[in-house]
Structure 1
Amino acid sequence: MNFTFLEIDHVQVAAPKGCEEKAREFYGKILGMKEIPKPENLQKRGGVWFQCGSHQLHIGVQDDFQPAKKAHPAFHVKNLAVLRDHLIEKGIAVKEDEPLEGANRFYANDPFGNRLEFLEWIK
């Protein structure tokens, strides 16, 4: 084959119509991701985009929205325990799961019920 995968460019998480302000509050203010502009021709679809390290997270509007309970993005985090405490302080439930060798991790849901994983690799 004459092609090469370089990396994941972005991950999209679905949300219901009118999700933008809740997404900005959670992903922007609580998680601290920087909002980035959507291309003008895609703005009419709704949703909001964020920068997450060298990748992007897109919150896209889905008319028949159902939260993702199994499929999920996993975010590599520095100082995971600080993030866990921060989310708990903000009233966001965190869920521990089966250990993953070489990493500490937990799960939380975004305001739309989508499952998110947060992990920190142990050196």
Structure 2
Amino acid sequence: MLRIDHVQLAIPAGAEDLCRTFYVALLGMREVPKPPALMARGGLWLESPPVQIHLGIEEDFRPARKAHPAFTVADLDGLAQILAAAGHEPLWDDAIPEIRRLYVSDPVGNRLEFMEDGGSPTK
């Protein structure tokens, strides 16, 4: 394997605008066009290079509350303030002392982890 191309998260039908506001307006990601063959399925594709997230419609949607993607960010405190101000309260986790990180749920309940750049003990 060379790398992860993208992470896919499930969302309920009709949640695209709600998720677009969160991922684009709050997290600063950019929506990218889906291939024409996949447009009818709904959902949306997002990127903040090199990170790519695909949000796909799942009929029997249940949010991922344990499984989650983890993203490294340059300004964890700034992101926490933005999220909190928008009503997405961050949950700080100090279980691994050498990694500053927090969890937040997206608007449909999927768990997301954000960690401070340089915090991973595997680097």
Q: TM-score, normalised by structure 1?
A: 0.91
Moved more, 50-59 or 19-28: 50-59
1:13-35, CA deviations, whole angstroms, 9 ceiling, x for partnerless residues?
A: 10000111011100011111011
Considering only aligned residues, what root-mean-square deviation do their CA atoms show, in Å?
1.4
Q: Which aligned pairs between 1:2-81 and structure 2 lie closer than 5 A?
A: 5-81=1-77
Q: How many residues align?
A: 119
Deviation, structure 1 residue 101: 4.4
1:115 and 1:15 map into 2 onto residues whose CA distance is 12
| Shift in CA distance, 42/31, structure 1 to aligned 2, threshold 3 Å | same
Moved more, 87-96 or 104-113: 87-96
Which 5+ residue runs of structure 2 have no aligned equivalent?
A: none
Moved more, 22-31 or 95-104: 95-104
Q: Is the 8 A contact 2:93 2:100 kept in 1?
A: no
Deviation, structure 1 residue 52: 2.6
Q: Say whether 1:82 aligns with 2:78.
A: yes
Q: TM-score, normalised by structure 2?
A: 0.91
List, as ranges, runs of 4+ consecutive aligned residues in structure 1 with deviation greater than 6 Å. Answer: none
Q: Percent identity?
A: 46
Which 5+ residue runs of structure 1 have no aligned equivalent?
A: none
Q: Is the 8 A contact 2:94 2:100 kept in 1?
A: no
Q: Say whether 1:107 aligns with 2:103.
A: yes
2:64 and 2:31 map into 1 onto residues whose CA distance is 22
